[in-house]
């Protein structure tokens, strides 16, 4: 099946299922993708400076443009089932001359949680829709990899670590190389006092690496707003002191081993709640009962609606797309080598993009280039 035929067929399938089709622009402001999409997509973006001097990009993703379209035209509404199809543009390994145009089709489901009958209602509906699309294409053998950022965040919140270390570990989960370096530092008993001042500034003010160089100018420009006679060096030094949060080497190693053991949990969804119980028992942890009960509820919800034997739950999953904040999933062909669909929950993104309403959302996108290889 040609890509063009596949794009049309998927669009028609989504509309048959009741989704509203949206046309999306190819060119967007780069900033929002830098802020929300994660390292993988950021490194692959095609960006350029327009005539006004503003940085633009060819869309590397469809979720953000779809949400922006919803906010612009429907922000008084609290729900929508939207679909799209078309190309996204990314470079391979960040090299522009090794470019690729990826064809995607997908859905974004926007809703308010207070209207849900069960906590996992929209997650199950989205997974069922993704599987239904594959079966419409006569793809009946596939594997589903699934994870949950909520589960990871909850686990970190219970650990015997200073709050700022917890925040950093959660915040940088999507930056795999930096995440691994954080764990290495933690295992060596490194405290915030040993971090570079610009890293502390970035962390405390939420600035990116390019912005931290402007901190001194920022302080100087506000020198009459309460800093008194203190020098810039004194202000930064005090800022650093407030950010100190030392972890002992022994406790750091213990926490790193615990985190790595947790991330190493990987099993069929049918057995995963029991694997989690065994882990908590073996580690002699006195927390996580609520989360295990939640996993049991999710497992039961999946098994009542779908073939649970196709699901594998992996705690160390979901490092690639930064705006996901709940259940995340990928669907592969029978061999497990060809990624066909990527999706997940993103409850905070709409507010980040400017929605005035408290909305939740979940969606997925098909990789039509890969689908066409097996059709």
DSSP character string of 140-199: --EEEEEEEHHHHHHHHHHSSS-HHHHHHHHHTTTSHHHHHHHHHHHHTT--GGGS-HHH
Question: Within 10 Å of residue 349's Cβ, how many Cβ atoms?
Answer: 22
pLDDT tens digits, 132-153: 999 999 999 999 999 999 999 9
Residue 328 near residue 318 (C-beta atoms within 8 A): yes
pLDDT, position 66: 96
Of the candidate ranges 212-216, 251-255, 321-325, the one whose mean pLDDT is the lowest: 212-216
Residue 315 vs residue 195, higher pLDDT: 315
Position 41 confidence tier, pLDDT thresholds 50, 70, 90:
confident
Position 45 confidence tier, pLDDT thresholds 50, 70, 90:
confident
Give the mean model confidence (pLDDT) for residues 194-209. Answer: 49
Residue 331 near residue 341 (C-beta atoms within 8 A): yes
Residue 286 vs residue 156, higher pLDDT: 156
Give the mean model confidence (pLDDT) for residues 232-240. Answer: 60
pTM across the whole model: 0.82
pLDDT, position 277: 95
Position 341 confidence tier, pLDDT thresholds 50, 70, 90:
very high
Residue 212 has pLDDT above 70, yes or no: no
Centroid of chain to Cα 6: 27
Residue 192 vs residue 188, higher pLDDT: 188
* Average pLDDT score over the chain: 84
pLDDT tens digits, 25-36: 999 999 888 888
Residue partners of 157: CB distance under 8 A and separation at least 6: 166
State how far the Cα of 348 lies from the Cα of 41, in Å rounded to an integer: 19
Share of the chain above pLDDT 70, in %: 80
Residue 306 has pLDDT above 90, yes or no: yes
pLDDT, position 113: 86
Helix (H/G/I), strand (E/B), else coil: 331: strand
pLDDT, position 213: 46
Position 230 confidence tier, pLDDT thresholds 50, 70, 90:
low
The values of phi and psi at residue 103, to 5°, are -95, 125
The values of phi and psi at residue 163, to 5°, are -60, -35
Residue 6 near residue 372 (C-beta atoms within 8 A): yes
Residue 70 has pLDDT above 70, yes or no: yes
Residue boundaries of the structural domains of the chain: 3-141+334-374, 164-249
**Tokens standing for residue 277:** 């119980």
- At the topology level of CATH, where does 3-141+334-374 sit? BirA Bifunctional Protein; domain 2 (3.30.930)
Within 13 Å of residue 56, how many CA atoms lie on the same side as its CB? Answer: 11
Residue 315 near residue 269 (C-beta atoms within 8 A): no
pLDDT, position 228: 54
Q: What's the distance, Cα to Cα, between the start and end of the chain in Å? A: 6
Q: Where are the beta strands (DSSP E) in 247-326?
A: 266-268, 311-314
Residue partners of 131: CB distance under 8 A and separation at least 6: 142, 144, 306, 331
Beta bridge partners of 189: none
Within 13 Å of residue 156, how many CA atoms lie on the same side as its CB? Answer: 23
Position 280 confidence tier, pLDDT thresholds 50, 70, 90:
very high
Residue 372 vs residue 95, higher pLDDT: 372
Torsion on CA atoms 258, 259, 261, 264, rounded to nearest 10: 170
Strand order in the sheet with 327-333: 20-21, 80-92, 95-111, 360-367, 339-345, 327-333, 142-148, 311-314, 266-268
pLDDT, position 192: 40
């Amino acid at each position: 099946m040609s890509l063009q035929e596949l794009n049309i067929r998927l669009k028609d399938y989504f509309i048959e299922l009741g989704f509203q089709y949206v046309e999306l622009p190819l060119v967007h402001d780069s900033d929002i993708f830098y802020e929300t999409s994660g390292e993988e997509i950021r490194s692959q973006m095609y960006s350029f400076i327009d005539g006004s001097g503003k940085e633009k990009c060819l869309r590397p993703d469809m979720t953000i443009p779809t949400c922006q379209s919803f906010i612009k035209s429907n922000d008084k509404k609290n729900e929508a089932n939207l679909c799209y199809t078309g190309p996204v543009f990314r470079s391979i390994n960040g090299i522009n001359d090794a470019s690729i145009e990826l064809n995607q089709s997908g859905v974004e489901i926007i809703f308010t949680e207070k209207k849900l009958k069960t906590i996992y209602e929209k997650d199950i509906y989205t997974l069922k829709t993704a599987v239904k699309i594959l079966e419409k294409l006569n793809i009946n053998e596939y594997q589903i990899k699934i994870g949950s950022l909520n589960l990871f965040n909850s686990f970190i919140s219970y650990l015997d670590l200073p709050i700022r270390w917890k925040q950093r570990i959660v915040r940088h989960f999507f930056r795999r190389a930096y995440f691994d370096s954080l764990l290495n530092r933690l295992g060596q008993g490194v405290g915030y006092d040993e971090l570079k001042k610009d890293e502390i500034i970035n962390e405390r003010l939420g600035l990116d690496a390019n912005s931290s160089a402007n901190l001194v100018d920022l302080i100087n420009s506000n020198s009459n707003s309460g800093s008194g006679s203190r020098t810039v060096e004194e202000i930064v030094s005090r800022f650093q002191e407030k950010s100190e949060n030392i972890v002992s080497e022994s406790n750091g190693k213990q926490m790193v081993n615990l985190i790595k053991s947790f991330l190493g949990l990987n099993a069929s969804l049918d057995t995963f709640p029991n694997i989690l119980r065994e882990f908590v028992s073996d580690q002699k942890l006195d927390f996580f009962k609520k989360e295990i009960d939640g996993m049991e509820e999710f497992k039961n919800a999946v098994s009542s609606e779908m073939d649970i034997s196709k699901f594998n739950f992996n705690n160390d999953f979901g490092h690639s797309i930064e705006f996901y904040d709940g259940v995340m999933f990928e669907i592969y062909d029978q061999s497990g080598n060809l990624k066909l669909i990527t999706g997940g929950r993103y409850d905070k993104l709409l507010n980040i993009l400017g929605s005035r309403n408290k909305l939740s959302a979940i969606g997925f996108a098909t990789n039509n280039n890969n689908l066409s290889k097996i059709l």
